[in-house]
Amino acid sequence: SRPLAIAPSILSADFSRLGAEVEAAAAAGADWIHLDIMDGHFVPNITFGPPVVKAIRPSTDKVFDCHLMIAPADPYIADFAEAGCDIITVHAEAGPHLHRSLQTIRKLGKKAGVALNPATPASAIQHVLDDVDLVLVMTVNPGFGGQAFIPAMVEKVRLVRAMIGERPIDIEVDGGIAPDTAGAIVEAGANVLVAGSAVFRGGAAAYARNIAAIREAA
Ligand code: DX5
Ligand code: ZN
């Protein structure tokens, strides 16, 4: 299976000092940095766009893992690629032309991800598995940090893992990931763990301990 990666979500970081927070997460042992892009339409919350991604890009060399919770996504994919995203993940529910969105991301030289809301069946991505580098199984309803992990998603991860077979695809989970939930979801097949509130708590001095606790539980 693919290497484990911990991807702190800066949604729970201090937005007034975002560059310093990204640096602190990287220094604390983050493998990737997870960026949550929300449009107030696809999800009931608004975060930030390409100018903010660009502004924090110089703060680290870590992979920028960009989770687009926006619809439509296609008109903005090139802007996020130019801003410095390395992985661009679009939601399967965000539009009628998922395959085109994934092709657009790869044509820009970026890794393509597809995300599934909790109620969307694993089968929704069955016919795009050769077009993705990452599958993101949402373990909460997207929009906010600090929500409770949905246990039924463990079985979905198991299904996605089986569908992927030998393809070199990462399985990422996002929402409610903490030391108490990491073990079961990794056992089911996830290898990239997004965590917001479980990492950005207790002040910057605690981030390394918070990340290590998730890694040890995985
Ligand atoms: C939710 C976002 C997540 C969020 C996770 O819509 O996609 O990345 O930051 O937050 P926690 O880890 O606090 O559930
Ligand atoms: Zn996310």
Q: Atom 10 in ligand 1: which residue has the minimum CA distance?
A: 145
Mutate which of 144, 172, 192, 199 for ligand 1? The one with the most ligand atoms within 8 Å of its CB, which is 144
Cβ–ligand 1 contact at 198 (below 6 Å): yes
149-175 residue pLDDT tens: 999 999 999 999 999 999 999 999 999
Q: Report the share of the chain in percent with pLDDT over 70.
A: 100
Euclidean distance between CA atoms 200 and 207, whole angstroms: 6
Give me the pLDDT at residue 1, please: 77
**Average per-residue pLDDT for the chain:** 98
Model pLDDT, residue 110: 99
Calculate mean pLDDT across residues 53-72: 99
Pair of tokens at residue 157 = 């991860």
Mean pLDDT, rounded, for 81-104: 98
- Check pLDDT > 80 for residue 210: yes
**Could you tell me if the CB of 9 is within 6 A of ligand 1?**
yes
Q: What residue's CA is closest to ligand 1, atom 7?
A: 142
Is a pLDDT exceeding 80 seen at residue 19? yes
Q: State the distance from the centre of ligand 2 to the C-alpha of 191, rounded, in angstroms.
A: 15
Best residue among 174, 180, 210 to mutate for probing ligand 1, ranked by most atoms within 8 Å of CB = 174
Per-domain boundaries in the chain: 5-217
Task: Write down the ipTM of this complex.
Answer: 0.99
The answer to whether the CB of 8 is under 6 A from ligand 1 is: no
Residue 127 has pLDDT above 80, yes or no: yes
pLDDT in tens, 29-42: 999 999 999 999 99
Record: fold of 5-217? TIM Barrel (3.20.20)
d(CA 173, CA 210): 17
Catalytic residues: 36, 174
CA 177 to ligand 1: nearest atom: 12
Is 144 annotated in some ligand binding site? Answer: yes
> Pairing mode, if any, of strands 111-116 and 134-138?
parallel
- From edge to edge, which strands make up the β-sheet containing 134-138? 5-8, 192-195, 170-174, 134-138, 111-116, 87-91, 63-69, 32-38
pLDDT category, 114, cuts 50, 70, 90? very high
